[in-house]
Amino acid sequence: MPTFFLVMASLSVATTFGIVLTLIVDAVKFFAEVPLKEIFSTELAPLKADPSFGILPLITGTLMTTLIAIAVAVPVGLSAAIYLSQYASSRSRKILKPILEVLAGIPTIVYGFFAYSFVTPLLMQIIPSLEAKNALSPGIVMGIMIIPLVASLSEDAMNAVPEIMREGALGLGSTKLEVALKVVIPASISGILSSIVLAISRAIGETMIVTIASGSSKNFTLDITQSMQTMTSYIVEFTSGDAASGTTGYYSLYAVGLILFIFTMIINLIAQHISRKYREEY
């Protein structure tokens, strides 16, 4: 049995190693053909007769949609977590938490069509200059999608705070809100920050929502009312058959995938560091 468990554990390590090796091998071919100066430029036109492969428009699009998603998910998710851990009765918690977590089970392609066919027309009535494909709508819907991640993990972290700390604060005359903001949140900050960082990682790697609702514009812009393309949607666009195997455009897929992998790996390392640094043990 120890041998069996070792083999099963080694499979995940071997799979990860194989994925990274595949990305690196083909990404090196791209970096060997494209100058570093061009890679970090704002011009991205991989299908032109004279193609250019600047990745800054993709990075900007990814970061803009992610920031919008976090701006939606963190306040709503933390508020929901505070209510569930501090105010809700046991019966209410059993009903509300599963309903909240249903959002995590909805397929992302459904979120994408929801962003494109409902949220975007609604926002266009408020913002007339908003384009049919834009960064704002998918960012908001991504935020809705990752609310359960922030809320559930943060609520678990808050519930791990010993009840005696809450009772002591209440006994000293604190209100429930003061207990939540000055006792529970500082004591569970490690878990809360980890949930936020994991939510960021989830938003960066999202594919279908941004592919459907944010468009494929490769312009370098910070205007969230315009169409943008993220790293994941670029990969989807090219894997649909636009890039012939063995071309520079084909290898650019692996380069973008490698950069995306590095982004998510850095974020996960940050989450682990934060968790270790601020962890409270009782």
91 vs 67, more confident: 67
Please answer whether residues 27 and 258 qualify as being in contact, where contact means their C-beta atoms are separated by less than 8 angstroms: yes
Instruction: Name 265's Cβ contacts closer than 8 Å, sequence gap at least 6.
Output: none
Distance CA 211, CA 115 (A): 11
Length of the chain in terms of residues written: 282
Distance CA 82, CA 93 (A): 11
| CATH architecture under which domain 53-278 falls | Orthogonal Bundle (1.10)
Percent of the chain with pLDDT over 90: 9
pTM of the model: 0.85
What is the pLDDT confidence band of residue 255, given thresholds at 50, 70 and 90?
A: confident
At 134-191, the pLDDT tens digits run 888 999 999 999 998 898 888 888 888 888 888 788 888 878 888 888 888 888 888 8
Please name the residue that has the structure tokens 């468990």: 5
CB atoms closer than 10 angstroms to residue 219? 15
Q: Residue 69: its pLDDT value, please?
A: 93
Domain ranges for the chain, please list them. 53-278
Answer whether residue 71 shows pLDDT above 90.
Answer: yes
Please answer whether residues 216 and 233 qualify as being in contact, where contact means their C-beta atoms are separated by less than 8 angstroms: yes
